[in-house]
A = this chain, B = another copy of it.
Amino acid sequence: MLAAAQAASTTPALWAQLLGTARRAMATSLLRVCPPGELLRPLAVPERLLLGPGPSNVPRRIRAAGAAQLLGHMHPEVLQVMDEIKAGIQYAFQTRNRLSLALSGSGHCAMEAALLNLLERGDTVLVAINGIWGQRAAEIARRLGANVCELLKPPGQYFTPQDIEQGLVQHKPLVLFITHGESSTGVLQPLEGLGELCHRHGCLLLVDAVASLGGAPIFMDQQEIDVLYSGSQKVLNVPPGTAPISFSERAREKLLRRKTKPPSYYLDMSCLANYWGCDGEPRRYHHTAPINSFFSLREGLALLAERGLESSWERHRANCSLLCQGLLGMGLELFKARLPTITTVRVPEGYSWKDITAFLMDKHGVEIAGGLGPTAGKVLRIGLMGCNSTRDNVERVLGALRDALQRCPRSRL
């Protein structure tokens, strides 16, 4: 009791001292940074139709889930939501992998998590580069000290099994990175046979499906994909900040064979596997997860489960096809038209892409984007993802584009 009394008595004393510091600080102008005026004005968020390469708009139900009151990150209700997210990811990925979970970060964070868990310093990784995402993966793998080999294709093209096999034979990598939906160019990479090919050459297959998941068929188990990840803010219509990821048994074994710990604790899959209840052990605290983002992600996956994958694939195909017909009808030239979620159109001659995107935003409240990485300045990108993939939105964006082509300045050809 004496210790307790002492502890209690130190509280006011220490506080008097600390607040004394604060008061002296103010008196002697130590509290130099004043409340910023711009923060004292109310937050204003205009309504926009987001038809760029993501994020896409968020349905009311998902926004409401994200606005629910918080719970603790170890509460049984939250662990239950996490279990439901796992099941939803298994459905969306078409996998039975136990090690399926959502990362507490964006799709970019998932790319990093996949690479830093799979690779150790000196490991050889082959990166298929036909747009910005391969470039990014190579950059991250180099930072991790991996031996990075590049397999190059011009932007707009995809890799054939022959391309891949040549790379595997030449470089003997432990991991192959490839992008399913190249959102910078609009290319959909066929995945048939790649898993089997990789496994025949003792290599793991790592696939980025950030821009394609839910919009184009993918069968993780059937296609023998070892690591697959996506983001929340594309077809799932969930705000950015969480990223589904899954590891096959082969990939899990590679993690178990590591000689060194991954250079990140936040993204260490062995810790996350425990926190997500994937390892059969009692769940331990790892980090404070973005709980309400999990609520939103759960609802996005629930919407996909309710409507069905096949219907989602078909809807994206049909509306993308309508859009392409409309664009061609306006005399525009498609850059590549394989990815059903994001369509790339060449910037029409004589126009500035910036004028067109700014016109659509200012006059029609519609976002479409310019190019990115290798397509910067060359294309316009139009996304129709999840709830945004509708016939109405196709008509709205075509109408807005028609208006832009009439009213934006055009240099003489």
A71 contacts the other chain (CB 8 A): yes
**Shortest distance between the CB of A229 and any CB in chain B (Å):** 13
- Would you call A164 an interface residue if the criterion is a C-beta within 8 Å of the partner chain's C-beta atoms? no
Closest chain B residue to A292, Cβ basis:
B239
7 A-B pairs with least C-beta separation: A241-B290, A36-B87, A67-B67, A35-B305, A108-B287, A4-B333, A45-B68
Counting CB contacts under 8 A, is A124 at the interface?
no
Asked if A406 is at the interface (CB within 8 A of a chain B CB), the reply is no
The reply on A33 being an interface residue by CB < 8 A is yes
A308 close to chain B: CB less than 8 A: yes
**A96 CA / B136 CA spacing, docked (Å):** 33
Provide the residues of chain B in CB contact with A337, threshold 8 Å: 7-8, 10-11
Q: Using A19-B317, A48-B72, A56-B70 as known contacts, list a sample of 17 further A-B pairs with CB atoms less than 8 Å apart, ordered by residue number in A.
A: A7-B337, A10-B338, A11-B321, A18-B216, A26-B310, A31-B219, A35-B91, A38-B84, A39-B84, A43-B295, A50-B70, A57-B69, A66-B67, A104-B106, A112-B266, A240-B288, A263-B263
Asked if B299 and A43 make an inter-chain contact with CB atoms under 8 angstroms apart, the answer reads yes
In the complex, whether A130 has a CB less than 8 A from a CB of chain B is no
Chain B residues with Cβ below 8 Å from A91 are 33-36, 39
Contact A14 B338 (CB under 8 A): yes
- Between A and B, 11 residue pairs with Cβ closer than 8 Å are A22-B313, A25-B222, A33-B93, A40-B306, A45-B77, A70-B233, A104-B105, A106-B289, A143-B262, A144-B263, A240-B291
> Chain copies in the assembly?
2
Cα–Cα distance between A75 and B293 once the two chains are bound (Å): 21
- C-alpha gap A363/B54 in the complex (Å): 44
A39 is contacted by which of B54, B105, B298, B332 (Cβ under 8 Å)?
B298
Contact A47 B69 (CB under 8 A): yes
State the A residues within 8 Å of B (CB): 1, 3-5, 7-8, 10-12, 14-15, 18-19, 21-22, 25-26, 30-36, 38-40, 43-48, 50, 52, 54-58, 63-73, 75, 77, 81, 83-84, 87-88, 90-91, 93-96, 104-109, 112, 116, 136, 139-140, 142-145, 188, 192, 216-217, 219, 221-222, 231, 233, 239-241, 261-266, 285, 287-293, 295, 298-299, 301-302, 305-306, 308-310, 313-314, 317, 320-321, 324-325, 328, 331-338, 340, 367, 369, 372
Report yes or no: A8 in contact with B324, Cβ–Cβ below 8 A: yes
The reply to whether B288 and A77 contact each other, CB–CB distance below 8 Å, is: no
CB-nearest residue of chain B relative to A289?
B240
Closest chain-B Cβ to A69's Cβ sits at a distance in Å of: 5
- Determine the chain B residues whose CB is within 8 A of the CB of A145 once the complex forms: 263
Contact between B298 and A43, CB atoms less than 8 A apart: yes
Given A3-B333, A46-B71, A287-B108; A313-B217 close (CB under 8 Å): no
Q: Which residue of B lies closest to A65 (CB)?
A: B43
Question: Do the beta carbons of A104 and B216 come within 8 Å of each other?
Answer: no
Count chain B CB atoms within 10 A of each CB in A25, A105, A292 and give the residue with the most: A292
Q: B94, A73: Cβ atoms under 8 Å?
A: no
Checking B1, B11, B48, B192 against A320 with a beta-carbon cut-off of 8 angstroms, the contacting residue is: B11
Residues in chain B near residue A321, CB distance under 8 A:
11-12, 15
Which residue of B has the minimal Cβ distance to A302? Answer: B39
Q: Establish whether residues A338 and B264, one from each chain, have CB atoms under 8 Å apart when the complex forms.
A: no
State whether B66 touches A66 (Cβ < 8 A): yes
| Closest beta carbon of chain B to A349's beta carbon, Å | 12
Residues of B within 8 Å of A301, CB to CB, are 39
Give the complex CA separation of A88 and B31 in angstroms: 14
Contacts of A263 in B (CB 8 A): 116, 143-145, 263-264
B96 touches A72 (CB 8 A): no
Task: A302 to B36: give the CA distance in the assembly, Å.
Answer: 9
Q: Determine the distance from Cα of A213 to Cα of B95 in the docked complex, in whole angstroms.
A: 43
Q: Which residues of B contact A88 (CB under 8 A)?
A: 36, 39
